[in-house]
Amino acid sequence: MIDLALIPVAGRGTSLLPLTKSQPKEMLPVGRKPVVQYVVEELIGCQINRLLFITGSGKTAIENHFDTDAELIDYLRVKGREEELAELAFERDEAEYFYMRQRRQLGLGHAVLCAEPFVRKQSFVVALGDTILGLRRRSEIVRRMIAIYEENPEIGGVIAFDEVDAEEVGNYGIATPGKTIDTEGTFELRDLVEKPSVHEASSRLAVAARYVFSPLLFEYLHRVESDAAGDIQLTDAIRAMLLDGHRVFGVRMRPGEGRYDIGSFESYYKAFTDFATLESMGDLEKM
Ligand code: G1P
Q: Is the CB–ligand 1 distance for residue 128 below 6 Å?
A: yes
Burial class (CB in 10 A: 0-12, 13-18, 19+), 199: exposed
Name 251's Cβ contacts closer than 8 Å, sequence gap at least 6: 141, 144, 145, 148, 158, 159, 160, 161, 184, 186
pLDDT at 286: 58
> Which atom from ligand 1 is nearest to the alpha carbon of 171?
16
> Which atom from ligand 1 is nearest to the alpha carbon of 206?
10
| Band of pLDDT at residue 260, cut at 50, 70 and 90 | very high
- Out of 3.90.550.10, 3.40.718.10, 3.40.50.300, 3.10.20.30, the CATH code matching 4-280 is 3.90.550.10
Closest alpha carbon to 129 in 32, 30, 235: 30
Mean pLDDT of the chain: 94
| Band of pLDDT at residue 287, cut at 50, 70 and 90 | very low
* pLDDT above 70: residue 268: yes
CB 215 within 8 A of CB 123: yes
200-203 contact pairs (CB < 8 A, 24+) = 201/169, 201/174, 202/174, 202/175, 202/176, 203/174, 203/175, 203/176, 203/177
**Is cis: bond before 18, omega within 30 of 0?**
yes
pLDDT at 285: 65
Q: Is the CB–ligand 1 distance for residue 250 below 6 Å?
A: no
CB atoms within 10 A of CB 31: 17
CB 268 within 8 A of CB 262: yes
pLDDT at 283: 66
Calculate mean pLDDT across residues 104-120.
Answer: 96
Q: Is the CB–ligand 1 distance for residue 177 below 6 Å?
A: no
Q: Where are the domains of the chain?
A: 4-280
User: Which tens digits make up the pLDDT trace of 180-221?
Assistant: 999 889 999 999 999 999 999 999 999 999 999 999 999 999
In testing the pocket of ligand 1, which one of 26, 133, 171, 267 has its CB within 8 Å of the most ligand atoms? Answer: 171
User: Which has more pLDDT, 87 or 159?
Assistant: 159
**Separation of CA 171 and ligand 1 centre (Å):** 7
CB 76 within 8 A of CB 89: no
